[in-house]
Structures are given as structure tokens and as C-alpha cells.
Structure 1
């Protein structure tokens, strides 16, 4: 939407306390134990219960399992029975989201800036996040190719940023590369061009006692790749789980 993108107040509303507040709030509602650093290697649906094994050779049994990890790590989990149909295809194909995010403390930037670059540049999108009060700004930039942002020291990022702001100077940087993190192996969901009608079929395809959730699995109307999509799919998964464990003999 050109009108929205031209609005300097677009992206000016942020969550008080950052998105960590949302995560902590959701975690606070969990009555069970949250195990961090626990990597599932197999999920075995045995009909009346599910067995999940970890890379530490630990085993957990449950009446139902919710799969909410990014779709790009599905291929590293052994499913019994095998995923079927669109879910299996998604596990094999993955999704192509590969953006790299760079935070920058910048001198010489206008109060509110948003820029779109050419696709062969290291940065394809840059915006002002907020003013820091000392004449500098916190800016965020995204690149489409991780290999173009292997060096992110201030002098190098100054050169990249000057493709947008010729007089800007980058004073400090911090890089977020989800592609290099084994927990994600990519960024937020982006629809692959070779999936075709598979996308619409995929989203509702929970099977047996395995319920699919997560932002990657959200249909278009639930904003895939966003926090909103993750929350919406979480609510949907909760309803499915209650239906499964509340059925006769569960």
C-alpha cells in the first residue's frame, strides 16, 4: 500500500517491553515445565499416545503433540507414521525465507526514513526504528542474501547504508542471521514459487495425535510468518488438542 508506506508514522508503534513481553506472557500461562535447548529428533504417533525423542536420548510421552517448529527443520525430525500429502511435501521443500537482519546505530539519518533498494545490493530495505536522543538513530536493515552480509562492521555497513543515505555513518552494528541458526534454518514464512496450490492445502493438515501449529503453518488470512499468525495457530491447535484428548478412549 503506497499510502501506508509513505506515512512516516508507519512502524512507529512498538510493543512496550519488546516482543519478549509477549513470549514471557504466553510462557507464564503454561502450567507444565518448559524445557529449553531440547531438540526433538523423532515423533512417533502410536495411536493412543505419542512418543517424542530428543537429541539427548530423552523420551517424552503424551496424549497429543503440537508441532510448532519452523517448517525448515521438519526434515530433521523422523515422523512415524510419515507425514503425508502437503505436509510431507512441505517438509521436503521447506520455505525460501532467508533474510538477514542488521541493527545499526547511525549518525546523519533523517528523523523518519524508509528506503527500498535494488535486489542485488547487500541491503534491500532500511528504516528508522527510533531516535536515540543524542543525534543518532537506531535503524534496521534487511538483506536478501546472507553471503552479501558476512562482514557487518561499522565501516562496511556505512558503505551499504550510503546506497540509501549518502551522508550517514554507522557507529555500531548487530547482526541477526536466522539461516545459520539450527532452530530455524531460515526466516519467517515466504511462499515458494514452486508450491502452487500446495500452500492452501497444507495449513489444516493435522493428522492423528499430531497437531500442526506455528506461524509458518498459518493460512493467508491469519498472517503467516508473523506473531499474529503464531498466536492464531496456537489457539487453533489448542481447540484440536482438546477435541482429541476429550474424545472417548483418549
Structure 2
């Protein structure tokens, strides 16, 4: 009898331990009803946006949902967590998310802290101008013109310091303020990644008002950020990305989210993070 009681107690402890393990680390198993937590942007139309009615839309959201499906999770098992640029590494390191898909450029500084799968998209820094403005066709045309970006933007500083030192840089708290300024001619151009610019230009209220200059001022390979050393997860995500490209889903996601801006995207990039 004592042996049976001990065995039952050990079984109970083991069950609780396994349950606790499954709940931690952003969610692990999709088949048994667990959740997976994924970091995305909430404020980037076309890429990662939480809408007023609580839905999540954008290319990054579609990519993340596809990856989750390949890992065994249905859409209703995904918990979306806001991943502002400055918080992405912390969210990954602390285990608050399983992975991050949030216009997350792969670079050496970030790779010292987290690992990446992908890249799954190649963006470039570009300019957004009014649709009827043909005066800006190269970066140097911004000299003596008003260039807008968000406060703390490295994109704007890149233009100001290297490409158009005479540009009149105007900074605001958000891209929507830059778009308003661009529309009413208070500023002449807005700069950040072309994918983000295309997302804004593709919004219904903006369609036909703006165009991308198509200048490719930098290369921005977007990767899926995950915990350092988790090679098993990275391999699974890379396999999902390859499948997403081969079955046509990648093209479908780009067209649905960025197509209305007449965005000329690069082909799906080769995976380099292995």
C-alpha cells in the first residue's frame, strides 16, 4: 500500500511539473490546447496592426500565423504581444514571447543578444512623397526640403548626416503626424523602411495620395527573433518560411497587405540564419 501511495504521489508531482513546463517559455505544444505568445508591432499598417475592433492584421501577422500553424498552433491559440522596437530583445530574453515578427532587421548587434530565423523579407529605407510631386527622385533632392520622421529615428539621421545635410529635419511622435504634414504640404517627404511606408500608403484613406520614391537607401533584412541558442526552434521556423515561399503563401501575403500601394517588393530572400 505504501508503495502505491508513493507512486501515486510521484505521478501527481510529475503531471504538475509537465503542466508547468508546457505553460512557460511563451507556450510550447500546440496539439494539447496550449497557447503560444508571439511579439508583433501593433501600430504599423500593412505589417503589424491592432485595429480598433481588436483584430490583428498585416504581413508580419500573416507570417507569424503561418509559422505558428507549422508549429502546431491554430489561430485561436495565438496570444499577440506588443513588441515595440526598444523592447524586442527583452521580451525574447525574458521568455515573454516564443518569437518576434516585427519588422526586425537582422544585424550583428542584435545577434549578440538573440538569434534569428530567416530572413523572410528584404526591405529598404526609402522616401514617401506626395503622388503629384516629381521634384524628389534622389536623396540629395531633399536638401532645403522638409524631411519628416519619428523622434529617435535612425532612418532620418542617416539621410541628414550622409545623404542630404541641408535637409530640414522635422520629427514627430508618430508616423501618422508625418503623413498629415505630407498631405497638407507642411513637409515634403517621410522616411523609414519602404515596407512600413507602403503599409501606410495602402490604407484606404491614403490610397492615391502618396508614392514611394523607390531609392533603396539601405538594406533591411527582416528576421524572426528568438531566444539565443534555441537551434531546434530556429530550424522549425526556417522550415516554415521555406514552405511559405514554395506554396505561394508569401506572395499572397505581400499582395494582400502591401499591394494597394503599388509597392515593388524584392523577391523572398534566401535564408541565411541557420
What TM-score do you get using the length of structure 1 for normalisation? Answer: 0.26
Higher RCO (CA < 8 A, seq sep 6+): 2
